[in-house]
Structure 1
Amino acid sequence: MTEATGQRAAELRDRLVSELVNAGHITSAAVEAAFRTVPRHLFAPEVSVEAAYADDIVEIKRDERGALISTMSAPSIQALQLEQAEITPGMNVLEVGSGGYNAALIAELVGTTGQVTTVDIDPEVTDRASRLLEAAGYSRVRVVQADAENGVPEGAPYDRILVTVGAWDIPPAWRRQLAPSGRLVVPLRMKGVTRSLALEVEDGRLVSRSVGICGFVRIQGEGRHDERMWLLRGKQVTLRFDDAVPSEPELLDGVLAREPVAAWSGVTVARAEPFGTLPFWLMTTLPGFCLLSVDPSDGGPGVAVEPGGRWFPFAAVEGDSFAYLSVRPSGNEGRVEFGAHGYGPHGGQVAKAIAEQVRQWDRDHRHGPGPRYEVWPADTPDDALPDGTVIDKRHTRVTISWPHAGILAPNRAVQPVDE
């Protein structure tokens, strides 16, 4: 690397970190110092220095079908998880998912008195991480090639476990290998929607302390869980079911041939305004919640949208009909109105149900703290669980509880799909 390249990298690194601080992604002096110290470009030799310091992912590996299976996450997402973890000097930290750069950031946070272990199932990924960590001066990070479903018992207990791949469940090994006062930060997928949860042990279960919006490549190995899909129009329009599939999905065949019916909520948001709790409110109140995928490359939008509006992937199926969240321009410039478009004989009813839940979210939860997430052992009886929605997984039962008892969704278990 030339002196000019090194100077350019330092300038870009400082600019990136300042942007992350100004945007609120970095909130602590310790995380800021780690980001200003670790040379991100040394962990991204596949791309330019400019690309290495963009707030975007860096691709590491794709599978034989071309799907991404390993990336270096965007800096803003890495900052989110590190802030959630609250790592301090001297801690023993396990990272699940190895890219190298994030492990180096953790090494800066734990200091010379702490320990960092990073584990990945793919030997190509761990070989790459080992090589880059060594070259960047972080040989003290221990790199392990293994299926993280079993954690890394050598070196446990860990004060922090950071999972940097999307997980569908929390295997018992992670819980066992967490120190009594430890914290697990994990991007957990719940009915298709992922959130980064900072979890701590409390009375035998894991309880959320903070929640962040995120996106990660999915975990491989024994912990992998594939969605079930129902194609509505070739490969262009698909409904994705993460936990439970309708008993008769074939009733939806040909549903897109009907004219859509729209229902509008009267609830508006600014185009750039976040609404991260809305998907979870819909998830916990709408039977048949699923995700809608549309590939517009086959020609046309695939599903109905209003002029100047857009569709969102959050949908619900009821028998022979379904509807999905959408927006249209409102009367106020720069704002859009939430609603839904429905297809099928009862699509209008499903769309109205979505619109009604948007109104209830706006009235009761839009400006609130959001739900409480708890992760219980799989053998926990129903009467020991809090009010709310229950999502049953292989190893755990996840509960999502909203803060106002009078308007909680009913306790409703979602059974897992057999692998």
Structure 2
Amino acid sequence: MVGVTSTSRRLDRSAVGKGAGRLDCDVLVIGAGVVGLSTAYALTRRAPGTRVTVLEKEPGPARHQTGRNSGVIHSGIYYPPGSLKARFALRGAAEMVKFCAEHGIPHEVTGKLIVATEHEELPRLHALIQRGRQHGIPVRELGPAQISAHEPHVRGLAAIHVGTTGVCDYLAVARQLARLVRDADAEVRYGAAGQVTVIDRRPGRGVAVRTADGTVLRARALVNCAGLHCDSIARLAGDAPQARIFPFRGEYAELVHEREHLVRGLVYPVPDPAFPFLGVHLTRGVHGGVHVGPNAVPALAREGYTWSAVRPAELAGLAAHPGTWRIARRHWRYGAGEIRRSLSRPSFTAAVRRMLPDVTEADLRPAPAGVRAQAVLRDGSLVDDFLFAEGPHTVHVLNAPSPAATASLPIGREIARRASAVLADA
């Protein structure tokens, strides 16, 4: 990811444009999460010899969304036919399994259960069955006895088994992509050398950025894969993105070691169609251990991994966006329930017990949280698909929701295609 400091806006942008005739590379990619690295990888494969530099403010790759999720390879069953999410997930799941196998990255295709625990969830479960069949995903309907055969401690009225879901180590995927990018003679810069503070675009002269260590880099095109900071980077480039990032923190728990036997694989609730979140689910990871969660609460900073992480300037920016107030008015009941589960262990445990009745508060311990970069439009609607925007010499990825990690390889190729079109016009 890349951070944008308030001081960066006061720098003399005209100084960046000096000497713009010399190009340091063809494409600058901002962000070394799995999407940014997949984009760089795709660029080097699409046109060998393309000079690519990846900029990342953290000391290594995948320090935010990529390295802080549950590690699930999603099947694509949730996503509407024709959506980018469906297209990318269906292709990406198979490609991710193949990539992991080729490069010795821990992974496993486990399948998963989607479980209905209330009668009102049954129509939504049946709709998922039909959607899975539309997508060509192997799904099987299960009754209570069959649920118990798969997961002896899980209870539900009905369920579906989705055969193509799995788990992998996305941090290892990102590290391998970074190695492949460097092997293709591209460059990955971390820390101050990768933290962008100024962006300057000049018609016919490409784009230049200044990094926190004072280096100026010039390129023909820039690709913004900055995740939690993507809208800030778009504004820094002089564009006016149609959406603003609203950070939602996903808080996880994990089963204590003695109780990990309660969950064999992956167990999900039937999702609420009003929200692009999948609810509290159970995930046995590829390295062992069982994650429980996440819930979804408003984060008080873009990198707000705890309630104590507060950035007043970032909150002020959110408060000034009309979509913030509209989403709050529209969904305050849902949000209040999520906050209650965040602050109350009994409430969180009760949510888990809907599917896993044998679990107790003592069985759960806190696990590292993640923050989701959720794009919100001015009318307060949550952007529920991938969102791209293009400006002079730039391609912005303004929303990369789940299944971005699963689908990162085809997403990278799509972004590379757009970047190549920008290069052709430069």
Q: TM-score, normalised by structure 1?
A: 0.25
Higher helix proportion (structure 1 or 2): 2
Quick check: which one's strand share is greater?
Answer: 1
TM-score norm. by structure 2 comes to 0.25
